[in-house]
């Protein structure tokens, strides 16, 4: 059992190498954390601060661990109760108060997030969010980069910097906890995981969260050291954290520290803790207060005379009161700012319809050449090497990795095997296993660690083996990658690419044929592209790698070996956010993407004796090229939207609504959508798959109905 008593070891600070001045400074930091927390809680009860999360009782756990870190050098990922951690690492009471009042100058989020979701790139404090444990995979991604001296590490050489990742006991029940610790153990990364176990995940006690009493017992299962420490004894906490940090700096791998602590107040200002714990329990823990324990120790060591103690308290109270008054007087976050920082690099139109296209390169239109499923970019040299789509993917990956040593690939089977489709063949041998990483079968950590790598200055490419399995990483993609730039008020960006083979027609059935684009195209902050020719694959991947926003790069599996075309040897780009008119027409426009670009072209050719059909390849699904869609709809007067996804709530619904809003008076007929029937996915049997597949014949039939011929 852990001793949760008082600081009783004689002259402990000397043995730990802590000077008397540092010990008093540690006390000041703990006192500041307590007084600031009490002030915010009081302001909430007065109706001035709309929401509060208290750290009272956690001060020993937080200051004791943070004191062992190098502020601004080590990278820290706090969680929303870590007031003492961020203060120790350099945030000011005024900055914290700006967040509590949701003021425009709040450096962590500009009033976009609830208080306590701290982040500051200058201090290497990574922006935090509300979903618990999602930041743990980010920590291992950053630690991977630190271990190998890649990313923003000076001169790309390995340093002895470490990563510290904080979380509560509730987070240890999540899959990201397991996945992150497993990855850290496999690669023996310089990361310290700090669990502040206060006994409750809101109201659920640890006994109903964990099958083991001590969470740190799990450390050995992940190949790392584990520490269980009394959170009421700040010097014991520091001793354990210092040991773990030293091990990490020396290259001896990760550690899990469980700090037994307690929160004196409710989970948040909206929680009533009286319904799940007794007042006697709370008062019993308060008798072992970490702040009181340290004060007693200082008095015993003759380091805190009464007059000095009074002066410190007065100085702290004044500092907090002045910070609160100054922050309260600042301007509220203005409403018009809500549309800022959705994208690090905006393209297309912004939220209020203004054009914000920035510096995109000129579009190169493509046209179909005969019936042999080959496509060629306009102006492409005739002797340009021809390749199919999977060859183009492989070529593009090698190209971007050779051009930029920040680019790396991680995913299942991407190394020795070269990917299940062969997309990464030869890359391991050429670029090594630091940049081509075979990961466990854990999609959340594949994406989550890539987020960490991107935050550290790399350009990771995360491969999801089949798009059908991407949903395990939904939280990482939607809650984290897509929102980090927005929630941090532009302080952080996530320049990463997620490759995912998608689509049917390959007898993949329920779990190898899904069209996933509608789920993810719905998310502001996440760019979604679906190139369908070798030319576009190479050009768009080059563009995606340099884009500061996260990009979901969808590759239709059936095009991999079916579609061939030239890829110029001269480097070129295909802009994100720009559709392509691949066949000019006047009577009807087919708006489509992916494999159905090619099927729609076939359909248009077969209708050439009856109507002049335009075909537009959307290419980028989020953000859509609104101008191209509207211009084509206005020109042709009839619109057919074709995709492989389920028709109900598919991407076609958004395109149809857009046309109805902006081109209604130019239409000669209602917009028609052609998509998959409302079934979970394509079936396995060939006859059943053919029955539901959106093929050339179905496109022709829908076009004729729309044309009235």
Q: Please state the three-class secondary structure of 275-313 as a single string.
A: HCCCHHHHHHHHCCCHHHHHHHHHHHCCCCCHHHHHHHH
Q: Which of 26, 27, 173, 77 is nearest to 451 (CA)?
A: 77
Average per-residue pLDDT for the chain: 92
Q: Summarize pLDDT for 487-499 with one digit per residue, the tens.
A: 999 999 999 999 9
Q: Summarize pLDDT for 75-91 with one digit per residue, the tens.
A: 999 999 999 999 999 99
Q: Is 460 helix (H, G, I), strand (E, B) or coil?
A: strand
Those residues with Cβ within 8 angstroms of residue 595's Cβ, 6 or more apart along the chain or in another chain: 503, 505, 532, 556, 558, 559, 644
d(CA 446, CA 690): 34
- For a pLDDT cut of 70, what percent of the chain falls above it? 93
Paired sense of beta strands 366-369 and 374-377, if any: antiparallel
Task: Taking residues 179-194, report their average pLDDT.
Answer: 98
pLDDT at 350: 52
pTM over 0.95: no
pLDDT at 650 over 60: yes
pLDDT at 6: 46
Query: CA separation (Å) from 8 to 232, 257, 267, 289?
Result: 12, 22, 31, 14
Residues of the chain with CATH 3.40.50.970: 12-331, 368-566
* CATH class entry, domain 12-331: alpha beta
Query: CA separation (Å) from 484 to 54, 276, 362, 481?
Result: 24, 34, 30, 6
d(CA 410, CA 574): 24
User: pLDDT tier at 355 (50, 70, 90 boundaries)?
Assistant: very low
Those residues with Cβ within 8 angstroms of residue 240's Cβ, 6 or more apart along the chain or in another chain: 227, 229, 257
* CATH class entry, domain 368-566: alpha beta
Q: Which of 551, 504, 510 is nearest to 531 (CA)?
A: 551
Does 512 participate in catalysis according to the annotation?
yes
d(CA 638, CA 706): 7
Residues of the chain with CATH 3.40.50.920: 580-707
Structure tokens at 68: 């062992």
d(CA 382, CA 589): 29
d(CA 56, CA 40): 11
Q: Is 481 helix (H, G, I), strand (E, B) or coil?
A: helix
Structural contact between residues 505 and 682, judged by C-beta atoms closer than 8 angstroms: yes
Q: Is 24 helix (H, G, I), strand (E, B) or coil?
A: helix
pLDDT at 362: 30
Task: Taking residues 103-124, report their average pLDDT.
Answer: 93
pLDDT at 211 over 50: yes
Cβ neighbours around 402 below 10 Å, total: 11
Query: CA separation (Å) from 638 to 647, 653, 662, 665?
Result: 19, 16, 14, 11
* Cα 343 to chain centroid, rounded: 14
d(CA 599, CA 703): 13
Instruction: Select which of 117, 456, 485, 512 is catalytic.
Output: 512
Structural contact between residues 206 and 199, judged by C-beta atoms closer than 8 angstroms: yes
Structure tokens at 107: 């450096």
> How many C-alpha atoms does 334 have within 13 Å on its Cβ side?
4
Structural contact between residues 501 and 470, judged by C-beta atoms closer than 8 angstroms: no
The distance between the two most distant Cα atoms of the chain, rounded to a whole number of Å, is: 99
End-to-end CA distance of the chain: 83
Structural contact between residues 158 and 149, judged by C-beta atoms closer than 8 angstroms: yes
Cis omega (within 30 of 0) for bond into 623? yes
Is residue 226 within a helix (H) or strand (E), and if so which, with residue range? strand 225-230
3-state secondary structure 532-601: CCHHHHHHHHHHHHHCCCCEEEEEECCHHHHCEEECCCCCCCCCCCCCEEEECCCCEEEEECCHHHHHHH
The interaxial angle of helices 443-455 and 175-187, nearest 10 deg, is 70
Structural contact between residues 269 and 41, judged by C-beta atoms closer than 8 angstroms: yes
CATH number of 580-707: 3.40.50.920
User: pLDDT tier at 364 (50, 70, 90 boundaries)?
Assistant: very low
Order of strands, sheet of 75-77, starting from the edge strand that comes earlier in the sequence: 75-77, 163-168, 191-197, 255-260, 225-230
- For a pLDDT cut of 90, what percent of the chain falls above it? 84
Q: Which of 261, 216, 218 is nearest to 237 (CA)?
A: 261
> Which residues sit opposite 497 in a β-bridge?
461, 551
Structure tokens at 385: 């090497």
User: pLDDT tier at 369 (50, 70, 90 boundaries)?
Assistant: very low
Q: Which of 642, 620, 638, 636 is nearest to 696 (CA)?
A: 642
Q: Summarize pLDDT for 311-338 with one digit per residue, the tens.
A: 999 999 999 999 999 999 998 888 888 8
């Amino acid at each position: 059992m852990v001793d949760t008593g008082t600081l009783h070891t004689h002259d402990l600070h000397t043995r730990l190498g802590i000077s008397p001045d540092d010990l008093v400074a540690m006390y000041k930091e703990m006192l500041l954390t307590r007084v600031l927390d009490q002030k915010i809680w009081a302001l909430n009860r007065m109706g001035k601060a709309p929401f509060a999360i208290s750290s009272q009782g956690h001060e020993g756990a937080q200051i004791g661990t943070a004191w062992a870190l190098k502020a601004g050098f080590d990278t820290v990922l706090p969680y929303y109760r870590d007031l003492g951690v961020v203060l120790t690492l350099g945030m000011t009471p005024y900055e914290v108060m700006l967040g509590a009042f949701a003021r425009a100058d709040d450096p962590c989020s500009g009033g976009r997030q609830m208080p306590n979701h701290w982040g500051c790139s200058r201090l290497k404090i990574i922006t935090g969010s509300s979903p618990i444990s999602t930041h743990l995979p980010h920590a291992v991604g950053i630690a991977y980069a630190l271990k190998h001296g890649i990313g923003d590490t000076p001169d790309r050489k390995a340093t002895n910097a470490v990563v510290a990742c904080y979380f509560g006991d509730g987070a240890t029940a999540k899959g990201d906890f397991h996945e992150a610790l497993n990855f850290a153990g496999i690669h023996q990364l310089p990361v310290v995981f700090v669990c502040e176990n206060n006994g409750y995940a809101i109201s659920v006690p640890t006994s109903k969260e964990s099958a083991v009493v001590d969470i740190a017992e799990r450390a050995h299962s992940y190949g790392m050291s584990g520490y269980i420490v009394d959170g009421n004894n700040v010097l014991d906490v520091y001793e354990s954290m210092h040991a773990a940090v030293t091990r990490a700096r020396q290259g001896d791998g990760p550690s899990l520290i469980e700090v037994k602590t307690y929160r004196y107040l409710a989970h948040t200002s909206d929680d009533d803790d009286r319904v799940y714990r007794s007042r006697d329990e709370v008062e019993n823990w308060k008798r072992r207060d970490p702040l009181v324990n340290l004060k007693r120790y200082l008095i015993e060591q003759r380091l805190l005379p009464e007059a000095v103690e009074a002066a410190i308290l007065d100085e702290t109270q004044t500092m907090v009161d002045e910070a609160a008054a100054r922050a309260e007087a600042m301007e509220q976050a203005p409403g018009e700012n809500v549309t800022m920082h959705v994208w690090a690099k905006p393209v297309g139109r912004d939220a209020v319809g203004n054009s914000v296209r920035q510096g995109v390169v000129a579009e190169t239109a493509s046209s179909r050449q005969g019936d042999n499923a080959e496509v060629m970019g306009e102006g492409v040299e005739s002797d340009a090497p021809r390749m199919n789509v999977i060859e183009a993917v492989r070529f593009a990956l090698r190209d971007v990795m050779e051009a930029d040593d920040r680019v790396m690939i991680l995913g299942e089977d991407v190394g020795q095997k070269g990917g299940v489709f062969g997309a990464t063949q030869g890359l391991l041998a050429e670029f090594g296993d630091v940049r081509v990483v075979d990961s466990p079968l854990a999609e959340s950590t594949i994406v989550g660690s890539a987020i960490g790598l991107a935050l550290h200055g790399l350009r990771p490419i995360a491969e999801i083996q089949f798009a059908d399995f991407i949903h395990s990483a939904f939280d990482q993609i939607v809650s984290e990658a897509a929102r980090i730039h927005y929630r941090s008020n532009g302080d952080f960006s996530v320049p990463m690419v997620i490759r995912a083979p998608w689509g049917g027609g390959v007898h993949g059935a329920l779990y190898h044929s899904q069209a996933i684009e509608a789920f993810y195209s719905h998310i502001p902050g996440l760019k979604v592209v679906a190139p369908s020719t070798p030319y576009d694959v190479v050009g768009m991947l080059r563009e995606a790698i340099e884009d500061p926003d996260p990009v979901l790069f969808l590759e239709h599996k059936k095009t991999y070996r079916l579609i061939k075309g030239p890829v110029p040897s001269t480097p070129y780009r295909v802009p994100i956010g720009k559709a392509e008119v691949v066949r000019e027409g006047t009577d009807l426009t087919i708006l489509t993407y992916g494999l159905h670009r090619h099927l729609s072209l076939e359909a248009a050719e077969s209708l050439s004796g009856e109507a002049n059909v335009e075909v537009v390849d959307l290419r980028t699904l989020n953000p859509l090229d609104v101008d191209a869609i509207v211009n084509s709809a206005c020109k042709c007067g009839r619109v057919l939207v074709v995709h492989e996804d389920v028709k109900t709530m598919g991407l076609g619904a958004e395109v149809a609504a857009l046309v109805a809003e902006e081109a209604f008076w130019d239409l000669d007929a209602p917009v028609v959508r052609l998509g998959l029937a409302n079934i979970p996915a394509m079936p396995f049997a060939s006859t059943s798959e053919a029955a539901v597949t959106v093929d050339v014949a179905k496109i022709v039939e829908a076009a004729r109905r729309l044309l009235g011929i």
